[in-house]
Amino acid sequence: MDKIIITVVGKDTVGIIAKVCTYLAEKKVNILDISQTIVQEYFNMMMIADMEHADASFAQISEELEKLGEEIGVRIKCQREEIFTKMHRI
């Protein structure tokens, strides 16, 4: 497993999840978990994904997701899982 956390924050619109998922599928990144909520019309999504079999580097995926976010008008951030597990799990 090579887990990454993808967070998407921005104004809610049609097809945000679809676009992110399509991109990840193209890069062979496996989605393990998705949670999503809307807070005051703002779309918040967190995705846990495994890039063990991905055919692109973390740097490339991170950069392209950021670009994709700009196209949709949301902010997409890609981080390795450890920063969260280290902070929230003993």
Residues near another protein (CB under 8 A) are 5, 7, 32-33, 35, 37, 44, 46, 48, 58-59, 62, 77-88
Residue 61 Cβ vs another protein, minimum distance, rounded to whole Å: 11
Cα–Cα distance for residue pair 14/51, rounded to 1 Å: 26
Q: Which is nearer to another protein, 40 or 88 (CB)?
A: 88
According to DSSP, the residues that pair with 50 across neighbouring strands are: 3, 30
Min separation Cβ 2 and another protein, Å: 11
